[in-house]
Amino acid sequence: MKIRNLQRTLALALSSILLTGCAAQPTRTTLVQSPVYATPAADLVKRVAAVLNAPPISLPTQDLGNGVLLTDWQEPFRGDFHIIRYWHERTRYRITVAPDFTDPAQRSRLLISDESQQRPDESGPNVEAKTWHDAPNIRRPERSTALLMQIENQLTAPAPVILPATAPAK
């Protein structure tokens, strides 16, 4: 009897360890938020797309509609250290322009979230080493924050002044 109870207890403990150990980790989401701009959302989408496509950022974008921009992949980044080396990472950003609640017609803000992919190494004949894999549990809010700062610097920078050509003095 004691042996059978011990076997049941061990089987129950082992199954509970296996079930909890195999559970998927929840995806951590990060969202970086800008201050409010005194600009309507539709205008801000156009300005942000222009800033992203132009130097120094030079990151092509897709307009997904409804105030959402999806950038191309930005790379290379040095990823996490595992399996005796640093992995390569690349990140793209989803930028949502949201109207402000207090004055949706005249004010809006930016919300930036990131998505990363990784791969082990670029060298060698292994094709798998050159293939990017989704990394849903990797979030890099520092990259989103850096992109937001670059966008803010470009949005608040004064427009270049173009002086009219003057005729030479006679």
Return mean pLDDT, the chain.
80
As a whole number of Å, the end-to-end CA separation of the chain is 117
What is the rounded distance in angstroms from the CA atom of residue 10 to the CA atom of residue 16? 10
Pairing mode, if any, of strands 68-71 and 74-82? unpaired
How many residues are given for the chain? Answer: 170
Q: What is the pTM of this model?
A: 0.71
112: three-class secondary structure by DSSP = strand
At residue 135 the predicted structure's pLDDT band, cuts being 50, 70 and 90, is confident
Residue 64 has pLDDT above 50, yes or no: yes
What is the rounded distance in angstroms from the CA atom of residue 151 to the CA atom of residue 41? 15
Distance (Å) of CA 50 to CA 55, 62, 66, 104, 109: 10, 12, 17, 22, 16
What is the rounded distance in angstroms from the CA atom of residue 18 to the CA atom of residue 163? 72
- The model's pLDDT over 66-108, given as tens digits with 9 standing for 90+, comes to 999 999 998 887 776 766 777 888 899 999 999 998 999 999 9
Residue 21 has pLDDT above 50, yes or no: no
pLDDT recorded at residue 152:
94
Q: Which secondary structure element, helix H or strand E, spans residue 96, and what is its range?
A: strand 85-99
- On the question of a cis peptide bond just before residue 158, with omega within 30 degrees of 0, the verdict is no
Residue 127 has pLDDT above 70, yes or no: no
Highest mean pLDDT among 24-28, 112-116, 135-139, 155-159: 112-116
161: three-class secondary structure by DSSP = coil
123: three-class secondary structure by DSSP = coil
pLDDT recorded at residue 6:
59
Average pLDDT over residues 51-67: 93
CA 133, 21, 86, 32 torsion-angle sign: positive
- Cross-strand bridge partners of residue 70: 62, 94
